Structures are given as C-alpha cells and as structure tokens.
C-alpha cells in the first residue's frame, strides 16, 4: 500500500502510472520539506531515488539530513546566470523569485525577506545526469514556472511525466498560458488536471495516458500520512490524544515516582520494624536471661540469708561455746582451787568446825520447819472440815497480824484463794492435797 504525503495526491497519480518501474529516478524542483507535502517521499519509501532542487537554505539543510543518499542542490532554476534575488517566507512553501508575487503576499500580511541564491538552468541540471532516465519531473516554484521551462533547451533530456503547478499562488486562478506552449513544443501532451497541477506525458510514452483518466480513488490502494492536510482534524485529535497520553504518562510517572518513594519509605519502615523486632527479641531474650539470673540471684540471696542466719547461729553457738568453755575453765579452775583448799592443812583442821556449824544451822531451822509442816497439815485438815474451818476463820479475824501471815503462807503454798465477798476460803492445790492425803493416810473425798 502506498502512503501519500503530497498536498494534492500528486504522488498517487504518478504512482498509478509508474508503479511498474522498479527503482526509478525523479527530479523534484522546489522540493521544500522532506516529509510535509513531499511528492517524492512515497517513491523514496518504494526504493526510488532522485534529485532535489531547493533554494531556501533551511529546507535544503533538512533535505540533506533526511535524504543523505540523494542529491540536494541548493539553488534556483532560472534563465539568469549567477546569484538572483529570492523572497524568502520562512517556514512556508511560498518563497518566490517574483517580486510581484512577494508584494501580493505582503498585501495579505505575509512578510518576506530578500536573499541571494545561486541560479542555474534546467538544461545545466539535466546535463549533470546525462545517462539517467528521468521518470518524472515536478516543477513547483511559486510563479517562476515559465523561467524554469524556458531554461530547458537546448537539453535533449525528456522525463516521462512532467507535473507543473498551474495556478496563481494561493488561488485557483489558472496560470499556465505563458509556459505551456514551450512544454508542448518539447513533445509533451496534456493528460490531467487535479485542480492545482497540470500533468503532461511525452509522446514517446503514450502507453501511460490511460493512468491519468480519473482522480485518486479507492482502487489506487493508498492511505494518507499523518501530516496530510486532509487528515488535519484527525491529526489534531491525535495530537490532542498524544498530549493527553503524554500528560497521563507524566502523571503515571509521577505517581510511580511517588509510589516508589512511598514503597521506599515503607520498605525502610519495614526494615526498621524488622530491626526493632530483632532488637526487641534480643531484649526479650536478655530480659528472660535477666529474670533467670534474678531468680538465681534471689535463690543465692535466700541461701546467703540462710547462710547468714546460720552464721549468726554459729556465731551465737560459738559465743555460747566460748562462754561454756570459759565457764568450764572457771569450773575447772574452781575445782582445782577447791581441791587445793580441800587438800590443804587448814581445811582438814577446820573440818570438825564446819560439821558443827552445819549441825547448829539444822537444829536452828527445826522450829520453822516444824511450824511450816504443821501449818500445811493444818490447812489440809481444815479443808476437809468446813465447820472447823469456819471457826478457825472467826478466830483468826481477831488476830489481824497472824491472819495476814497465815494468808501469805497459804498463798505461798497455793492452798488459799481470797474471795472479796465471803472473805477468805481455803482452796488447796489438788496435787498437793492428794500428796497430803497420802502422807496423812486420809480417805479421798
């Protein structure tokens, strides 16, 4: 399928007539841009090569960059020799060598600037390729078509098909009367008008005439490039969509950057959390070890406490043992002293005197002993005789001193309990009473 780049489907019509030619050759005069409105690009993509003539420096440079395997001649085609004036209108295809056309553009608000460019004739251009068959020649020079065609002779080169822009620039007004007779005299016949260009076929190529019977149609099996003015609306929509896609891509990129940053932060947080978890685990382990050590320390403290208690007890025992040892030593010393005393002559001499003294003390103690013994038996006897006890009680009240002594003696012997209401009563201790009964051989009551 052919991709059409030309502004008015010129490439579609030419391809219909010349598609049977493999690796053909073309001459494009006024080539301008290597892509936009290019008649040659569709052929270039099919393997054709050719020559581009472009006087505007900026477009000539673009052609050289885009078509490095083709010839680009930076010059104007004219009858004059040497530099000529060119009215350049930047970034358009309206640059012209005609002063009146430049003034016409100026009236429409399109300014131009005059520059000097090299000029050569079409005959000189053809002379550079003497042995090449030229399959098509395109002339689009903004009002200078008569200059180009007039400079053709004396060359004998005859391209198969010639395409010439044939209206006043930026209008539908025909403008071919001045140059068509010369072209017809060179053996060409008019075959097709597309509303902008007139197509001519050389009489030696009559077999190509049928290809020019109708305009571009679906049978030509072509498609439009994205740069065509016929797809401008679609191109604008596509450009808008591309801008939107670009904006969305930028948004996606920014979002991804933000997400990447967030993921980085989260990864760092997770890493920190993992490190903290590891640290916490280590701390828990250390706490557990500390608890175990604390338990062990507590056990040791308990054991130390018991040991201290035992040490205190041992110390106390040691002190008691030390005291006992001192007492034993004292007893031993006293025993030795006693033995010394007892073995002394004075002790033996005073022995009878000590025996006499003990006898005297024993005899002196008999009245008290007898009295105590009698009172104890009297108390036991009165306990068994209530009437006699009441009589003794009445008698003792008359002798207060004796009564106090008697009560003191009975308390000392745990045989009397004083009752504040009834006075005093005898309450002998049962063990003592039982013992007295055994002694006195009295019956149990």
The DSSP string of 374-422 is HHHHHHHHHHT-HHHHHHHHHHHTT-HHHHHHHHHHHHHTT-EEEETTT
What's the angle, vertex CA 63, arms to CA 141 and CA 73, rounded to 5?
60
What pLDDT score was predicted for residue 417? 39
Within 10 angstroms of residue 252's Cβ, the number of other Cβ atoms is 12
- Which domain-ending residue is among 196, 224, 252? 224
Q: What is the pLDDT of residue 158?
A: 97
The reply to whether 195 falls in a domain is yes
In a domain, 409, yes or no: yes
List of the chain residues with pLDDT < 50 = 416-426
- The Cα–Cα gap between 222 and 245 comes to 28
Please report whether residue 412 resides in a domain.
yes
Distances (CA, A) of 283 to 99, 276, 289, 290: 95, 10, 9, 10
Predicted local confidence at residue 256, as pLDDT: 80
Q: Which of 180, 201, 224 is the last residue of a domain?
A: 224
SS3 assignment, position 40: coil
Does 76 map to a domain? yes
For residue 425, the SS3 value is: strand
Any bridge partners for residue 222, and if so which? 2
In a domain, 240, yes or no: no
* Domain finish residue from 186, 204, 224: 224
The tally of domains found in the chain comes to 2
Q: Residue 27 phi/psi, 5° resolution?
A: -130, 115
- Per-residue pLDDT at 332: 77
Q: Which residue has the tokens 């020649």?
A: 137
| Residue 189 counted as domain residue | yes
**Confidence (pLDDT) at 416:** 45
Cα 58 to Cα 22, 44, 54, 147, distances in angstroms? 31, 21, 9, 23
Range of the domain at 382: 370-440
Q: Residue 145 is part of a domain; what is its CATH number? A: 3.40.50.150
| Predicted structure pTM score | 0.56
Residue indicated by tokens 């191109």: 235
pLDDT on residue 411:
67
Specify if 362 maps to a domain. Answer: no
Q: For strands 416-419 and 423-426, give the pairing.
A: antiparallel
| 184 is a domain residue | yes
CA–CA gap between residue 379 and residue 78 (Å, rounded): 180
DSSP string for residues in 51-64? EEE--SHHHHHHHH
Place of tokens 């395109």: 138
Residue located via tokens 């008999």: 366
């Amino acid at each position: 399928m052919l991709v059409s780049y030309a502004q008015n489907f010129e490439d579609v019509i030419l391809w219909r007539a010349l598609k049977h030619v493999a690796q053909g050759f073309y001459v494009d005069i006024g080539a301008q841009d290597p892509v936009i409105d290019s008649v040659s690009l569709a052929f270039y993509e099919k393997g054709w090569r050719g020559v581009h003539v472009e006087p505007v420096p900026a477009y000539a440079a673009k052609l050289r960059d885009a078509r490095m395997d083709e010839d680009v001649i930076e010059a104007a085609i004219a009858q004059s020799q040497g530099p000529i004036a060119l009215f350049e209108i930047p970034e358009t295809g309206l640059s012209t060598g005609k002063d009146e056309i430049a003034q016409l553009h100026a009236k429409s608000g399109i300014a131009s600037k005059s520059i000097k460019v090299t000029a050569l004739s079409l005959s000189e251009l053809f002379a550079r390729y003497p042995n090449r068959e030229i399959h098509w020649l395109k002339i689009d020079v903004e009002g200078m078509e008569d200059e180009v065609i007039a400079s053709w002779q004396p060359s004998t080169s005859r391209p198969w098909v010639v395409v010439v822009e044939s209206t006043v620039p930026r209008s539908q007004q025909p403008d071919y009367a001045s140059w068509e007779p010369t072209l017809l005299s060179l053996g060409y016949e008019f075959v097709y008008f597309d509303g902008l260009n007139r197509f001519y076929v050389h009489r030696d190529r009559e077999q190509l005439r049928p290809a020019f019977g109708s305009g571009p149609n679906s049978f030509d099996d072509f498609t439009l490039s994205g740069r065509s003015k016929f797809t401008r609306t679609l191109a604008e929509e596509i450009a808008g969509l591309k801008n939107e896609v670009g904006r969305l891509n930028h948004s996606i990129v920014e979002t991804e950057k933000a997400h990447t940053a967030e993921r980085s932060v989260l990864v760092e947080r997770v890493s920190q959390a993992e490190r903290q978890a590891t640290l916490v685990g280590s701390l828990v382990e250390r706490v557990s070890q500390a608890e175990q050590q604390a338990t062990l320390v507590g056990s040791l403290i308990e054991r130390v406490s018991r040991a201290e208690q035992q040490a205190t007890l041992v110390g106390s025992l040691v002190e008691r043992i030390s005291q006992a040892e001192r007492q034993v030593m004292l007893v031993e010393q006293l025993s030795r002293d006693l033995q010394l005393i007892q073995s002394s002559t004075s002790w033996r001499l005073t022995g009878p005197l000590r025996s006499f003294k003990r006898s005297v003390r024993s005899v002196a103690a008999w009245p008290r002993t007898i009295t105590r013994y009698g009172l104890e038996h009297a108390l036991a006897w009165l306990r068994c005789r209530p009437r006699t006890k009441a009589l003794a009680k009445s008698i003792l009240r008359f002798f207060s001193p004796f009564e106090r002594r008697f009560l003191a003696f009975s308390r000392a012997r745990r045989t009397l309990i004083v009752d504040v209401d009834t006075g005093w009563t005898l309450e002998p201790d049962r063990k003592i009473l039982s013992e007295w009964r055994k002694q006195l051989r009295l019956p149990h009551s």
